[in-house]
Structure 1
Amino acid sequence: MSADSDPTLRVGAHESIAGGTYNAVDALVDDGGNCGQIFTHSPQVWQDPNIDDDEAERFRAASDEHGVGPWVIHSSYLVNLCTPKDDLREKSVDSMQQEVDAADKLGIPYVNVHLGAHTGAGVEQGLDNAASALDELDIPDGVTVLVESDAGSGTKLGGDFEHLAAVLERSEQDLDICLDTAHAFAAGYDLSTAEGVEGTVAELDEVVGLEHLRCVHLNDSKHECGTNKDEHAHVGEGLIGEEGMRAFVNHEDLRDVPLVLETPTEDGKSFAWNIQRVKELRE
């Protein structure tokens, strides 16, 4: 079976919503993808998603028409669930509430979030802060918050799989996770060989449980394993490389997990190029 006819392969990219969220659907289809991710607004500012009923209906209709999904909303980069600062925590919770409500409106099942940084409060306090902040959310039925793995620089949490497991365990919400391959690699999980992928997936299963893995950000890395440097590369062309990427997309326990690319658009290589590359690596 060729990858293009493999019905289990869900692969897509983080698409722009310029001109309306529904435009992301057309962009995704043009890129050859069948699942994807969006921001509901600029991720660099505190902003209400402001999605009216007409726009939401157009997004849902376009997704249904093209048979694409699942979609993921990526939360604002300003959100910091681990913060010890009351004002930042309040803004973060408010922002996340707006995102889960927008997801409900758009028919999107997942909202992805980074845990953020404890900024000196300590790892355990930071993890407690994140769990309790998530507990303040009124998450609509049909929407799940995904805690994303991190590259682990500075006081940012999420670099260790144990951090993800702790938040899932300490929160009263039904949370799941998103694994970013570039982040995991930067955090010290070697995905550059078939053996490394096997070991990392086994560890993720043991620590968190693969039943919680709902999405993968499939990115190669411009930096070495364990450097904590978060910079994405084209699929198979970074330091994870072709062997690691091939092993990952063909791992028997990961074949049904949606793969969303956040690869760069440089060197004349677009999301379409990277999506096609994933299809070629899929066996």
Structure 2
Amino acid sequence: MLRVGAHTSIAGGVQNAVEEQLEYDGNCGQIFSHSPQVWADPSIDEDDAAAFRDLTAEHDVRPWVIHSSYLVNLCTPKDDLHEKSVASMQTELDVADRLDIDYVNVHLGAHTGAGVEGGLENAVESLDELDVPDGVTVLVESDAGSGTKLGGRFDHLAYVCDESRHDLEVCLDTAHMFAAGYDISTPAGVDETFAEFADTVGLDRLACVHLNDSKHECGTNKDEHAHIGEGHIGEDGMSAFVNHDAVGDVPLVLETPTEDGRSFAWNIEKVRELAAE
């Protein structure tokens, strides 16, 4: 079964994310456990958590991903930011455990002067401080690679996965990959990109995809998402990607915009049309 869904809101109660997903005809999804722009602890009471678990099971909406706060920076050389980032990630992991959510997704962050090697070592150190509950997996997300941000190259992801004491997996974001220079706008480009990922990271570590088209050209390091098939990756690239053997049963989570009269529902339907080709 094709698993495709969207990032939905927990406003009014975490269970509402499931209801919203069903409105879009999605069958997997992603949430923030709190506002991603601030350091804050989630406020999810046990009744809402139980309702989320029950609705997820009743409607077979799975898997779910918690996306970590945008403030988290695993690569930072700054002690205070390191401590806040680790504490925030631990909270997300504990919430995932309470909600029976499989994955917590995180960007590696920026090395801000520590250098690539130093930043990657910092990321491994940060991740290794976490107490990851049984049944929850940390996903390291590919990045667009602007400035000193790490994770835009597959070897960055591979290093962290190889060196961490945890069994980490990877979330590939198509718009980020494209921005970082992986040209997936053609079937040949998709084949080449997956071949490089297989050799560098390993296809067995691909657990989730953030499926987004890009408003900017390949290699620009600009992270701005477009409707599926309507950006510079285009229909040919998107179709080749979702139908590639490497994707298989990997859940596809959309972070596409709501504009031009098109919402997540339009994009989910578009993905299903491309997957049926």
What's the TM-score, normalizing by structure 1?
Answer: 0.97
Counterpart secondary structure, 1:229: coil
- Note the 1:40-51 alignment, pairs <5 A: 40-51=33-44
- Match of residue 194, structure 1, among 187, 190, 193: 187
Q: Provide the secondary structure at the position in 1 that maps to 2:110.
A: coil
Give 4+ residue runs of structure 1 displaced > 2 Å after superposition: none
Aligned residue runs from structure 1 range 118-129, under 5 A? 118-129=111-122
Is 2:3 aligned against 1:10? yes
Determine helix, strand or coil for the equivalent of 1:265.
coil
Give 1:247's match in structure 2, choosing from 240, 244, 250: 240
Question: Which residue of the partner structure matches residue 112 of structure 1?
Answer: 105
Instruction: Please tell me the root mean square deviation across aligned C-alpha atoms, in Å.
Output: 0.5
Between the aligned partners of 2:246 and 2:154, the Cα distance in structure 1 is 17
Q: Give the equivalent residue in structure 2 for 1:136.
A: 129
Structure 1 counterpart of 2:201, from 208, 213, 218:
208
Mapped partners of 1:164, 1:125: distance in 2: 14
Sequence identity, in percent?
72
Q: Kindly tell me the number of residue pairs found equivalent between the two proteins.
A: 276
2: distance between equivalents of 1:204 and 1:14? 25
- Taking the aligned partners of 1:267 and 1:99, their CA distance within structure 2 comes to 33
Aligned to 1:97: 90
Name the SS of the counterpart of 1:132 in structure 2. Answer: helix
Distance 1:139 1:53 in 2: 21
| Cα distance in structure 1, aligned partners of 2:172 and 2:23 | 25
1:1-283 equivalent positions in 2, closer than 5 A: 7=1, 9-283=2-276
After TM superposition, give the deviation of residue 253 of structure 1 in Å: 2.0
* TM-fit CA distance, 1:54: 1.4
Matched residues in 1 for 2:28 and 2:254: separation?
A: 10
Q: 1:245 is aligned with what amino acid?
A: M
Q: Extract unaligned runs of 5+ from structure 1.
A: 1-6
Kindly state the Cα deviation for residue 53 of structure 1 after the two structures are TM-superposed. 1.7
The alpha carbon displacement at 1:255 in A equals: 2.0
C-alpha distance after superposition, 1:142-175 (max 9, x if no partner)? 0000000000000000000000000011111110
Deviations 1:117-155 (A, max 9, x none): 000100000000000100000010000000000000000
Structure 2 residue runs of 5 or longer lacking an equivalent are: none
State the distance in 2 between where 1:226 and 1:213 align.
Answer: 22
**How far apart in 1 are the matches of 2:11 and 2:94?**
20
Q: How far apart, CA to CA, are the structure 2 residues paired with 1:110 and 1:131?
A: 18
Matches of 1:13 and 1:248 in 2, distance apart? 17
SS for the counterpart of 2:109 is: coil
